[in-house]
Amino acid sequence: MPQVEITLRRSNTDDKLGQSYIPQVLKTPSGLILVEIQGVLHIPDIDHDDSGIPNVLVGSFDVKEDGKALLMVHGHQRLEGTVKKLQTPLGILKMESEENESNRHNPDIGGFDSQGRNYSTQRIQHGKAEIVEIIRHKVSFILRPEPVV
């Protein structure tokens, strides 16, 4: 029986990024932002870089203190959006990947030890997951993109 324990990542607020370029309500301790777009964000299919270095330029993003937002994609599509408060806050849940599950128990059936205790407790598989951020606002671009002329 797998069981996953979830903890909240407690970011040190001293590390909070300035992010003066986004409105106060969008700011999160980790600097993560949730954006909703209609359809799919098409990105040219190239090798992904594990080092985390951004390798595909998508365009530009702007959001003002009044909540108006603008997304320019590849320089030829323009999306207008707004900052919206989420009815229910969302947790960004990071699941532990299989190979990192160092504490995953062998699902073999256990047995009694000399005191007759701990019978088969080994069968409980513990996984771990972390909520890396709690998001209360999103930037919503739900209108069709307009071509840039």
Partner 1 sequence: MVKLSANIPPLTPYKLIELPPDLLSALEATDTSNELVIKSSSKSGEAIICTADKTFQLRRINQSNTLVLLKPEPASREVNPHLVAFSNINTLLECVPTRGVVDLSCVPLYFGPGSLTGEKQPSNKLLISLAELDSNSPASSLEFDTEFVQSFGTEINGIACLLSRDIVFEFLGLALTTIMALKLNINAILVDELYQAIDETNEPIQIVETIVKRFSNNQKEPYNLDMDKITKWYGIYTLMDSDRDLYVQEFYKRWEANIPVPTGKPLNYFTLKGNYINPESYLIRYFTKERLSSDPKARFAQLFEQKSTWELSEITPFVEDVMHNKAIKIESFIMKFARKRTINKKIIVSARN
The binding site for partner 1 (CB under 8 A) comprises 1-8, 17-21, 30-41, 43, 48-49, 52-62, 70-72, 88-97, 112, 115-121, 123-124, 129, 131-132, 134-135, 138, 142
CB of 108 to partner 1, least distance (A): 14
CB of 28 to partner 1, least distance (A): 10
Q: Are strands 68-73 and 146-147 parallel, antiparallel or unpaired?
A: unpaired
Q: Which is nearer to partner 1, 31 or 67 (CB)?
A: 31
Helix (H, G, I), strand (E, B) or coil at 123: helix
Q: Which is nearer to partner 1, 114 or 149 (CB)?
A: 114
Q: Which is nearer to partner 1, 51 or 149 (CB)?
A: 51
Q: Are strands 125-141 and 2-8 parallel, antiparallel or unpaired?
A: parallel
Rounded to whole angstroms, the Cα distance separating 4 from 9 reads 15
Q: Which is nearer to partner 1, 19 or 103 (CB)?
A: 19
The answer to whether residues 81 and 70 touch, using CB atoms and an 8 Å cutoff, is: yes
Residues contacting residue 109 through CB under 8 Å, at least 6 positions apart: 120, 122, 123
CB of 115 to partner 1, least distance (A): 8
Q: Which is nearer to partner 1, 40 or 149 (CB)?
A: 40
Residues contacting residue 46 through CB under 8 Å, at least 6 positions apart: 55, 56
Residues contacting residue 53 through CB under 8 Å, at least 6 positions apart: none
CB of 149 to partner 1, least distance (A): 18
CB of 147 to partner 1, least distance (A): 18
